[in-house]
Amino acid sequence: MSAEANVGVVGLAAMGASLSRNLARHGNKVAVFNRHYSRTEKLIAEHGDEGQFFPAKTLKEFVDSLSKPRTAIIMVKAGAPTDEMINDLADLMEPGDIIVDAGNSYFKDTIKREKAIRARGLHFVGCGVSGGEEGALLGPSMMPGGTEESWKTLKPILESISAKAEGEPCVTHIGSDGAGHFVKMVHNGIEYSDMQLIAESYDLMRRGLGMEPGEIGDVFEEWNKTELDSYLIEITSEVLHEVDKKTGKPLVDVIVDHAGMKGTGTWTVQTALELAVPVTGIGEAVFARGLSSQGELREEAQRQNFEGPTGSVEMPLEERQAFVNDIREALYASKIVAYAQGFNEITAAAKEYDWNIDLAAVARIWRGGCIIRAKFLNRISDAFEAGDANVSLLFAPYFKDAIETAERSWRRVVARAVTFGIPVPVFSSSLAYFDGLRSKRLPAALIQGQRDFFGAHTYQRVDEPGTFHTLWAEPGRKEITL
């Protein structure tokens, strides 16, 4: 086999097949390999005429068909299969070659893999890819980590296939080792929060106001012409307008209400806990999916027939319209909080793992191709570029103004949802985060007092420096300095 292909893809399921076609369509010579050859045959039979493919039956044949330095992109199931594939490839490749893991790998695994592969003289790049199957084919947003040297080789290849936002490729070198997969993980966390907020908005209109799915779909279509303009709002409208072919009912009414998840949202929250960064909106979104899937618990709760409001309320038309507008404002404010928290997590990780991450560039590459692509990402990148969002996105003048504009609506939505008995965990936790930030004094002082009482954990005073402990068990409860 002659070494002609400038890039190769291993794993030809939904994502890998689309990525290979995208590469071939952009003039790359693409070696392709899949564990079961049937997927390779299918790709070539159905799309072989879209460009130059080099199908391989064995991994050795695949490696031999790549020109040097070889670049192999792995798109297989995350976890053990990815590890296996990396090791098999590394055994066949030579120093200077590049292995790219474009799956949704855990960033700590990427850090370990990069170290192990570097020790063998090869480059290892963990690269987040977002956009689903369609994005992989038509232009994803990509978040590569790894060395600067490997980025030089990858840049023209990845730029050729990435989405373009206002003419700019939606790919940039995020930082060393696991930085790319970390940023993709946070992207997915924000995706969870965004989706849950949209779902809570839907619930308030459906159960609270008794609106039909199609009608709510129209509302989302209108919202997509506002500052909420985004891929997720757009597809929500489509999903809500869809009618089930079998029953003639709205499709959303025949889908089981258990939300699945593959792990990236959970990782975002676990990591945030380790870094001590509150990502409350993302956390609640993960827990909301978890609760939805607790089938037995929910069935038993139904049998318990708890007292309480059932969600539906009567409202005059004008008030209903005003409430729908309040929901839009609350959605925007809570969405800003989710991004602010997500970017804070990236900042904390960059410090912890010594990554030099350009947050404005991250916002720019999320403007196209990825699942959270949205019009307001232009505003986010502007805020980071101007240095206005270094501490929090909420402090950048544009976002401060947006939050202040939405604030009353936001409170009305949370207050009414509580009265209606409709759960809005992300709306309410985002508002609580905002109020927590705004509060001059927090009840944390009382917690410090309690901790000192039962565990001698000490406290600081507002009026003098030092560390103090009250001798709670002794008469007179004298305070001592430590």
Ligand X SMILES: O=C(CO)[C@H](O)[C@H](O)COP(=O)(O)O
Ligand Y SMILES: NC(=O)C1=CN([C@@H]2O[C@H](COP(=O)(O)OP(=O)(O)OC[C@H]3O[C@@H](n4cnc5c(N)ncnc54)[C@H](OP(=O)(O)O)[C@@H]3O)[C@@H](O)[C@H]2O)C=CC1
Q: Which does 13 bind (CB under 5 to 8 A by kind): ligand Y, ligand X, none?
A: ligand Y
In the numeric block, which tokens belong to residue 341? 């928290």
Give the integer Cα–Cα distance in Å for 315 and 333: 24
In whole angstroms, what is the distance from residue 256 CA to residue 293 CA? Answer: 10
Check binding of 78 to ligand Y (CB under 6 A).
Answer: yes
* DSSP assignments along 192-241, one per residue: HHHHHHHHHHHHIIIIIT---HHHHHHHHHHHTTTTT-BHHHHHHHHHHH
Q: Does 359 bind ligand Y (CB under 6 A)?
A: no
Q: Which of 68, 77, 152, 262 binds ligand X (CB under 6 A)?
A: 262
User: With binding defined as CB under 6 A, does residue 78 bind ligand X?
Assistant: no
- Please tell me which residue in 184, 284, 329, 345 is annotated as part of the active site: 184
Among 75, 90, 195, 216, binds ligand Y (CB under 6 A): 75
In the list 7, 9, 16, 250, the residue contacting ligand Y (rule: CB under 6 A) is 16
Site string (101-130) toward ligand Y, x via CB under 6 A:
--xx------------------------xx
Out of 24, 111, 371, 402, the residue judged to bind ligand X by CB under 6 A: 371
Residue 371 contact, options ligand X, ligand Y, none, Cβ 5-8 Å cut-off depending on partner type? ligand X
- Nearer residue to ligand Y within complex by CB, 10 or 337: 10
In sequence order, the β-bridge partners of residue 125 are 100
Say how many residues touch ligand X, by CB under 6 A.
10
Give the rounded distance of the alpha carbon of 150 from its chain centre.
25
Residues within window 26-65 making contact with ligand Y, judged by CB under 6 A = 34-36, 39
The two tokens of residue 136 are: 């992989």
Cβ neighbours around 45 below 10 Å, total: 8
Q: Which residue in the shown chain puts its C-beta closest to ligand Y?
A: 103
* Phi-psi map region of 177: left, alpha, beta (phi>0 left; psi -120 to 50 alpha): left
Closer of 313 and 372 to ligand X (Cβ) = 372
**Spatial separation of the C-alpha atoms in residues 141 and 184, rounded to whole Å:** 10
- Angstrom CA distances, 133 to 23, 137, 367, 425, stand at 14, 6, 18, 30
Among 69, 81, 96, 423, binds ligand Y (CB under 6 A): 81
- Residue among 133 and 229 whose Cβ is closer to ligand Y: 133
Q: Which of 264, 334, 341, 428 binds ligand X (CB under 6 A)?
A: 264
* Residues in contact with 62: Cβ distance below 8 Å, sequence separation at least 6, in sequence order: 8, 10, 31, 32, 33, 56, 72
- Closest to ligand X by CB, 19 or 211: 19
Least Å distance between CB 104 and ligand X?
5
Could you say whether residue 188 binds ligand X (CB under 6 A)? yes
Counting contacts by CB under 6 A, is residue 263 touching ligand Y?
A: no
Work out the number of other CB atoms within 10 angstroms of the CB of residue 407: 17
State how far the Cα of 389 lies from the Cα of 369, in Å rounded to an integer.
24
184 flagged as catalytic: yes
Q: Which stretch binds ligand X (CB under 6 A): 167-175, 227-235, 257-265, 352-360?
A: 257-265
Which C-beta is closer to ligand Y: that of 16 or that of 250? 16
- The reply to whether 8 sits near ligand Y by the rule CB under 6 A is no
Q: Does 132 bind ligand X (CB under 6 A)?
A: yes
Active site (annotated) includes residue 215: no
3-state secondary structure of 481: strand
> Within a 10 A sphere around the Cβ of 32, how many other Cβ atoms?
28
Is the Cβ of residue 103 or residue 368 nearer to ligand Y in the bound state?
A: 103
Angle between helices 264-275 and 317-353 (to 10 degrees): 60
Minimum CB separation from ligand X for residue 266, in Å? 8
Please tell me whether residue 261 binds ligand X under the rule CB under 6 A.
yes
Neighbours of 481 (CB within 10 A): 11
Residue 248 to residue 334: CA distance in whole angstroms: 34
- Coil, helix or strand for 262? coil
State the binding partner of 149 from ligand X, ligand Y, none, CB within 5 to 8 A by kind.
none
Q: Which stretch binds ligand X (CB under 6 A): 225-233, 258-266, 332-340, 473-481?
A: 258-266
* In the complex, minimum distance from the CB of residue 262 to ligand Y, in angstroms, rounded to a whole number: 6
Cα dihedral: 277, 280, 285, 290 (round 10): 80
Judged by CB under 6 A, does residue 150 bind ligand X? no
Give the CB-side neighbour count of residue 444, counting CA atoms within 13 A: 10
The Cβ of residue 171 has, within 10 Å, a number of other Cβ atoms equal to 29
Contact window for ligand Y (CB under 6 A) among 6-14, 239-247, 324-332, 415-423: 6-14
**Which of 97, 191, 284, 329 is close enough to bind ligand X by CB under 6 A?**
191
Binding interface with ligand Y (CB under 6 A): 11-16, 34-36, 39, 75-78, 81, 84-85, 103-104, 129-130, 132-133
Binding interface with ligand X (CB under 6 A): 104, 130, 132, 188, 191, 261-262, 264-265, 371
Tell me the catalytic residues: 184, 191
